[in-house]
Amino acid sequence: MLYEEIVGEMVQRIETGVLKPGDKLPSIRTLSQDFACSKNTVIKAYDELEKKHLIYSVPQSGYYVVDGYRARDHAEEAAADIDFLSAGPDRHAMPYRDFQHCINQAIERYKQDMFTYSDIEGLPSLRVQLARHLQELQVFTIPERIYVVTGSQQALHLLVSLPFPNGKRNICLEQPTHAGFIESVRQHQMTAYGIEVRRDGIDLKRLEELFRHHDIKLFYTVSRFHNPTGYSYSNEEKRRIVELAQQYDVYIIEDDYMGDLDSNRKADPMFAYDPSGRVIYVKSFSKVMLPGLRLGLAVLPDELRDTFLQAKFAADVHSPMLTQGALEIYLQSGMFSAHIDRMRQLYSRKAALLQQAYEALLPASVSYSGSLSGFYSTIELPAPLKAKQLLHHLREDRVFADDARRMYLSEFVKENVIRLSISQVEEELIERGVQKIAKGIVELLRQRTQVRFV
């Protein structure tokens, strides 16, 4: 068909460098004359190129080549990799075009505001939309208690160092946990106590001992779809943890970074068991939308308002106005709800495929965790294997995963745990990737045995 010829011609011009990133494409009128076709045919071709994320449109201006387009040979080379390392959302499922429309609308809606500094706590109209959105996650609060942050990591980093109303000093955190939070603890030179996350949850008696004897200011927890294990607490476990925090005057930072992906509508956040301010609720949009968006939120008690805003002002004055406006429009329009429905289905399929592959392919000496989120999971290798040995072996076979050592405090470090993220792995490659991991484990164990008996 003629529109396909136009698509092919434009792709060739981009790949050969005739059209470079940022260059303007020929106008619709020009191409319709060059190819002796209707303007609708050219529009259809350009729509197809937009869907391939090769070009983008600017209203009243024209079409332009997307910056960062990779040539076909690079794309094919990358396709040979099985990437369990990257932890961002599935690139093929991200709402690029929808969010582009929201960005364009935000530019128009807030064009005057972009010439001034915004509210430190966030765009007021966005906070109204966020309060409505949080209700779907069983987080009931008012816009005045919601603070927009430049990614949830910013909220965590600031909160670690702030004085809390309980006057305490030390941190308690799950082991293993989000590497960014561990780095924040180290940067601020805070004293931290770990509690191990196991298949059956955490030891609540041990948690109570830590709360009672170690001057714990706050307990950092990822209550569902834990990073890196993928585990989630039951409602009863969440309720009991909150009760312990109330009893021993400890604050909880609940990092619900992927709560949107939870299809269990009966699953409550810890916040629901104490919305007064004991539980500080933190949420990100990076894992379910676009990491480059760099927006998150924190629901804080009034007692932390002034100190948090002072720290936020010192960090960046305020979060980017344009992306705040775009997120507001994205939420208000209903686009976010439709997107999340698709993401739940996508990641649930991937999670099921991963668990099936684990059960069918991994050696009996290996233990593993699982998650319905379709993001994180861990594999604990049998002794005497080390994670770095297996990861080096797998890289030669173009399989990539993460060493979990950086996700532990020094006294808890395990050198035989790898973390897998399947969010960016094609469904048809999941089983093949696990098969290569299993093969690598068996080969390394065989090599150790041969060396021992030589």
Residue-wise pLDDT for 89-125, tens only, equals 887 788 888 888 899 999 988 887 777 778 999 999 9
Separation CA 190–CA 160 (nearest Å) = 8
Q: What is the pLDDT of residues 51-89, one digit of tens each?
A: 777 887 776 778 888 866 554 444 444 557 999 998 878
pLDDT at 116: 77
Separation CA 387–CA 408 (nearest Å) = 14
Separation CA 33–CA 39 (nearest Å) = 9
Q: What is the mean pLDDT of residues 407-425?
A: 95
pLDDT at 88: 79
Does residue 173 have a pLDDT over 90? yes
CA distances from 358 to 349, 366, 367, 403, 436 (A): 14, 10, 9, 18, 11
Structural domains in the chain, sorted by start: 2-71 (1.10.10.10), 98-335 (3.40.640.10), 337-453 (3.90.1150.10)
Separation CA 228–CA 378 (nearest Å) = 7
**DSSP bridge pairs for 63:** 57
For 384, phi then psi, to 5°, come to: -105, 25
Q: Are 377 and 229 in contact (CB under 8 A)?
A: yes
Residue type, 154: Q
Query: DSSP secondary structure string, 22-81?
Result: TPBPPPHHHHHHHTT--HHHHHHHHHHHHHTTSEEEETTTEEEEPTTPPPHHHHHHHHT-
Separation CA 375–CA 357 (nearest Å) = 15
Does residue 24 have a pLDDT over 80? yes
Q: What is the mean pLDDT of residues 40-44?
A: 87
pLDDT at 71: 46
Q: What is the pLDDT of residues 201-243, one digit of tens each?
A: 899 999 999 999 999 999 999 999 999 999 999 999 999 999 9
The three-point CA angle 450-453-454 to 5° equals: 80
Stated pTM of the model: 0.81
Q: Are 194 and 409 in contact (CB under 8 A)?
A: yes
Looking up tokens 């779907």 gives: 136
Q: What is the pLDDT of residues 336-360, one digit of tens each?
A: 999 999 999 999 999 999 999 999 9
Separation CA 200–CA 197 (nearest Å) = 8
pLDDT at 73: 47
For 93, phi then psi, to 5°, come to: -110, 5
Separation CA 91–CA 89 (nearest Å) = 6
Separation CA 195–CA 411 (nearest Å) = 11
Other Cβ atoms within 10 Å of 101 Cβ, number: 15
pLDDT at 68: 61
**DSSP bridge pairs for 398:** none
**DSSP bridge pairs for 155:** none
pLDDT at 434: 97
Residue 47 burial (10 A CB sphere; 0-12, 13-18, 19+): middle
Separation CA 452–CA 168 (nearest Å) = 52
